[in-house]
Structure 1
């Protein structure tokens, strides 16, 4: 690594070192998706474009100069990190490969695919709490411990690190922006909350790296690099990239979730089962028949009947209050 050429516009474009496994899996994934898209009638082209773009981002992260120089510059490692943990999973999820797998297959294969997609394993792995803990552990564990040093000195650990980034990002974002048939969709309020608390993880780790005054990963110093930013400056650039770049990408996803929430059938009224349960309990305490009816419903605000009953309850409460004020 010490003999690596300085990073220039030329080497940024030309320095490709695609791993053998990625060179096989990425084209295979593209071929499988193309096969499935041709078997499904009127499969949207934008989904295909998103999936192919996701594979291209993965190829860029693991095979281009981003990967080549990630072992020399921590800031380049952080660029690889953001591509694999946020950009690529977002595009792959927009491509809806799990939905395509179920619709493109038939017979016993479809049965196996359906059981796998809708099974407890994937549902548990993509549960908001589990997915967030996994994401937080990967982000903090690979940057605030000696794991990054091991990844710099072992190609196998480095490959595992890249896989961890993609998997943890995919599991976090799947229930947030995905439409895959894995579970009952999360309320938009929970999706928004999950993104916001994940931003905290990126911010804390990024700021920690920004405030570090020594090189925590000796392998970067061992490269003997004599060009580019100094070791501490490069570390701080990487921390800033995680903090600012990560938060900007998260905010873009927040905007998507808010847009979907506002345009949802409920018009932004789906607060989630926990808050909805609290509201039902509050309504049940009024003693009104309409409120009792609403409190017992699981699909409140999801149809016109519930909305009419809710409005009727408010009107009755207002009328009762007016009568009490008029009475001596």
Structure 2
């Protein structure tokens, strides 16, 4: 038996075809792993913000809103009927995958959690500063640099599509509640690793180990663009397939009138079309960062000019005058 009915450990199974109301209904789970993780991440983040505020430090509201939005999207696909129907319909599962693997990580990385953690943890040479020193040690380690290298994150990000759905791995994981949740955690973790480098708000190991050039906005746009054709190709292949790619959904749900192959085509269309939303968000973020960098550079040059009386401009004018004088002498 396939679907939630044949999956051990699931308390709730959808008994009627999906509707908007049913998809958004709270989904009770015997072991709510992802919802618990979401709530824990929310509490820890807000705790860090409160610590900064008590010290009189300012934390941008936009970053907090980004984190809250990321947590909301995670709960929307793991604590509602979407999670239950994702066990019965490939199309609904694909919504879960796209949100958890792409949209949620982008919003969470916009919250700059690493920066918040570095600012919230106490500094110093004693035991109190130990956790912060450990975090910095991890960020500056060669292992972290390897794991966050664009080649590695791209391979993991795209492997979550091709390596999972075009091998028996998907069917094996979906047979148990723990395997299903492990898959969802994998989507989130890989998405966070990939977009951590692409968004570029938090400090990353790329800025050390001779990889600082990889943090430039143009290269991050290229890194993002590389995944687009692979995602589109995956969606088209799934959408146009004449046989089921995964076997877990092969048995139609009685009375629903939903053909598994047709539902698979819908899932492929979701994977194909969903790529545009994260791409637009990232491009918007990178554009804002580029504008901000230009403004900071202009302000820094203006301050320097005020301090030294615009010495660079005077020196440039003196050189022009000297060259002009030399030319007149030779004539």
* TM-score, normalised relative to structure 2: 0.75
Who is 2:63 aligned against? 47
> 2:67, 2:143 → 1: CA distance?
23
Over aligned residue pairs, what C-alpha RMSD do you find? 2.9
> 1:116, 1:14 → 2: CA distance?
41
**1:235 aligned onto 2:257:** no
Who is 1:164 aligned against? 186
Alignment of 1:265-284 (within 5 A): 265=294
Moved more, 77-86 or 108-117: 108-117
Offset at 1:262?
A: 5.2
> 2:254, 2:222 → 1: CA distance?
42
**1:108 aligned onto 2:108:** no
> 2:48, 2:32 → 1: CA distance?
25
**1:125 aligned onto 2:154:** no
Q: Secondary structure at the match of 2:293?
A: coil
Who is 2:42 aligned against? 30
Offset at 1:228?
A: 4.9
- Aligned residue among 52, 58, 77 for 1:61: 77
Cα distance change of structure 1 residues 225 and 132 upon mapping to structure 2, 3 Å threshold: farther
> Is this contact kept in 1: 2:100–2:188, CA < 8 A?
yes
- Aligned residue among 202, 209, 212 for 2:238: 209
Alignment of 1:137-176 (within 5 A): 137-176=159-198
> Is this contact kept in 2: 1:96–1:179, CA < 8 A?
yes
**1:192 aligned onto 2:206:** no
Alignment of 1:229-268 (within 5 A): 229-261=258-290, 264-265=293-294
Cα distance change of structure 1 residues 23 and 166 upon mapping to structure 2, 3 Å threshold: closer
Offset at 1:62?
A: 1.9
Q: Relative contact order, CA 8 A, sep 6+: which one is greater?
A: 2
> Is this contact kept in 2: 1:151–1:161, CA < 8 A?
yes
Q: Secondary structure at the match of 1:198?
A: helix
> 2:255, 2:241 → 1: CA distance?
21
- Aligned residue among 88, 105, 110 for 1:89: 105
Offset at 1:166?
A: 0.9
> 1:212, 1:190 → 2: CA distance?
34
> Is this contact kept in 2: 1:47–1:96, CA < 8 A?
yes
Offset at 1:171?
A: 1.1
> 1:207, 1:151 → 2: CA distance?
24
Offset at 1:121?
A: 3.0
> 2:193, 2:241 → 1: CA distance?
30
> Is this contact kept in 2: 1:84–1:162, CA < 8 A?
yes
Unaligned runs of 5+ in 2: 6-12, 123-128, 297-303, 321-331
> Is this contact kept in 2: 1:202–1:247, CA < 8 A?
no
Offset at 1:37?
A: 0.7
Q: Secondary structure at the match of 2:253?
A: coil
Offset at 1:70?
A: 0.8
> 1:215, 1:4 → 2: CA distance?
22
> 1:171, 1:237 → 2: CA distance?
28
* TM-score, normalised relative to structure 1: 0.76
Equivalent pairs counted in the alignment come to: 277
> 1:159, 1:128 → 2: CA distance?
26
> Any idea what the Cα deviations from partners look like across 1:267-316, whole Å, max 9, x if unmatched?
9xxxxxxxxxxxxxxxxxxxxxxxxxxxxxxxxxxx999x99xx99xx9x
Who is 1:21 aligned against? 33
> Is this contact kept in 1: 2:252–2:260, CA < 8 A?
no
Unaligned runs of 5+ in 1: 268-302, 316-328
- Aligned residue among 251, 275, 296 for 1:222: 251
